[in-house]
């Protein structure tokens, strides 16, 4: 058994295998893995609908036993450390735990000899299972990654989705640009910014929007939201400038009429619901990698 913490820890061929595996499960070309000898828990220290429920669906589809640990009533609130909590779950014969935490790199000091960790998101640092389902969605659409032009736009600074995706997309041969208001920029050499969205949006095969993370914004930043859609978001006008065959993605949850216009949510190029569905199969592949390897 092994941890699943970041796609940085996997070779490109391993990532491609997970993508193919997920699509094979989805298209019923491969039987779902039988993980009925294993048990998996979720422990979400930050809110979630998609990741948490999607892992729950994935766990149940594999036949593994499932335990949802309620953080609010857990001994974490009596001061128990994460290490001691995980050792306790491991001693209860739970094999792996999906964790989301607001703390970046929460997993680094943890000894995982008793239980394996699946990273369900660590602060603004990484969201590897989201990145994998995003890759599954792109591969399903284009059947290849090489040479695809990807634009990731929005609240880059606070986005673990952007941090995971930019790195892995480049490794897999995609050309990745980012766009954001100045205050949402994340300064890193891997992040190549564009500045004239209206001029350039038609160059991209994939446009990935990000949630404006209101809970991490101060009052000044919140003012930006009043004109965000027109200034920085995917408005109807910008949607109409997309390249033919381009797809629009968003990890969710989205702020309607802030980063994306409500009007376009049902348009044909939008893949948001498909991403959610693909998340089930990506996470089955992740569970198989963690428990069966």
Report the 3 state secondary structure along 210-240: CCCCHHHCCHHHHHHHHHHHHHHCECHHHHC
Of the residues 51, 62, 85, 164, which one makes contact with ligand CP according to CB under 6 A: 51
Q: Which one among 17, 24, 30, 50 touches ligand CP, defined by CB under 6 A?
A: 50
Q: By CB under 6 A, is residue 33 in contact with ligand CP?
A: no
What is the rounded CA–CA span in Å between residue 99 and residue 122?
8
Residue placing its CB nearer to ligand CP in the complex, 49 or 262: 49
C-beta separation of 82 from 76 below 8 A: yes
- CA dist 271 and 265 (Å) reads 9
Question: Contact between 123 and ligand CP (CB under 6 A)?
Answer: no
Please report whether residue 277 would count as binding ligand CP according to CB under 6 A.
no
Name the token pair of 123: 């602060």
Do the beta carbons of residue 249 and residue 243 sit within 8 Å?
A: no
Which of 200-211 are b and which e, b meaning 16 or more Cβ less than 10 Å from the residue's Cβ? ebeebbbbbbbb
Residue 278 binds ligand CP, judged by CB under 6 A: no
Which region among 25-33, 69-77, 186-194, 250-258 touches ligand CP (by CB under 6 A)?
Answer: 250-258
Among 213, 252, 265, 272, which residue sits at the site for ligand CP (rule: CB under 6 A)?
252
The CA–CA distances, whole Å, from 131 to 30, 35, 134, 241 equal: 22, 23, 5, 26
User: Which of residues 54 and 288 has its CB atom nearest to ligand CP in the complex?
Assistant: 54
User: Is 19 or 209 the residue whose CB approaches ligand CP more closely?
Assistant: 209
Which residue in the set 130, 159, 180, 288 belongs to the binding site for ligand CP (CB under 6 A)? 130
Q: Using DSSP, state whether 263 is helix, strand or coil.
A: helix
Q: Which stretch binds ligand CP (CB under 6 A): 9-17, 20-28, 49-57, 232-240?
A: 49-57
Among 2, 17, 20, 48, binds ligand CP (CB under 6 A): 48
Taking the least distance from each CB to ligand CP, the nearer of 70 and 219 is 70
**Strand, coil or helix: what is 282?**
helix
Which range of residues in 33-41, 188-196, 247-255, 284-292 is near ligand CP by CB under 6 A? 247-255
* Residue (173 or 253) nearer to ligand CP, CB: 253
Nearest to 52 by CA among 255, 253, 208: 253
Q: Is 251 in the site for ligand CP (CB under 6 A)?
A: yes
Question: Smallest distance from the beta carbon of 167 to ligand CP, in angstroms?
Answer: 17
Question: Is 177 a residue that touches ligand CP (CB under 6 A)?
Answer: no
Residues 236, 230: Cα–Cα separation, whole Å: 10
The answer to the question of residue 255 lying near ligand CP (CB under 6 A) is no
DSSP 163-212: HHHHHHHHHTT-EEEEE--GGG----TT--B-S-HHHHGGG-SEEEE---
Residues engaged in binding ligand CP (CB under 6 A):
48-52, 130, 251-253
């Amino acid at each position: 058994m092994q941890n699943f913490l970041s796609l940085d820890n996997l070779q490109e061929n391993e990532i491609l295998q997970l993508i193919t595996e997920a699509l094979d499960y989805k298209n019923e070309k491969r039987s779902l893995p039988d993980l009925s000898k294993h048990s998996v828990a979720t422990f979400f220290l930050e809110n979630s609908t998609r990741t948490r429920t999607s892992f729950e669906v994935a766990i149940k589809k594999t036949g593994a036993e499932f335990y949802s640990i309620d953080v609010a009533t857990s001994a974490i609130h009596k001061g128990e450390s994460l290490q001691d909590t995980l050792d306790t779950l491991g001693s209860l014969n739970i094999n792996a735990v999906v964790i989301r935490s607001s703390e970046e790199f929460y997993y680094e000091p943890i000894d995982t000899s008793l239980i394996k960790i699946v990273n369900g998101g660590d602060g603004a640092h990484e969201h590897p299972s989201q990145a994998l389902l995003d890759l599954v969605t792109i591969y399903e659409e284009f059947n290849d990654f090489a040479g695809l032009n990807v634009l990731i736009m929005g609240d880059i600074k606070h986005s673990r989705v952007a941090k995971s995706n930019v790195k892995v997309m480049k490794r897999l041969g995609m050309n990745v640009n980012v766009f954001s208001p100045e205050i949402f920029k994340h300064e890193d050499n891997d992040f190549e910014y564009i500045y004239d969205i209206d001029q350039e949006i038609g160059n991209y095969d994939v446009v990935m929007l990000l949630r404006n993370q209101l809970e991490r914004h101060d009052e000044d930043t919140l003012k930006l939201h009043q004109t965000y859609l027109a200034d920085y978001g995917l408005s109807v006008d910008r949607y109409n400038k997309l390249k033919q065959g381009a797809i629009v993605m968003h990890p969710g949850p989205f702020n309607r009429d802030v980063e994306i216009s409500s009007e376009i949510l049902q348009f044909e190029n939008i893949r948001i619901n498909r991403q959610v569905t693909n998340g089930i199969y990506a996470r089955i592949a992740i569970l198989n990698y963690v428990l069966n390897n």
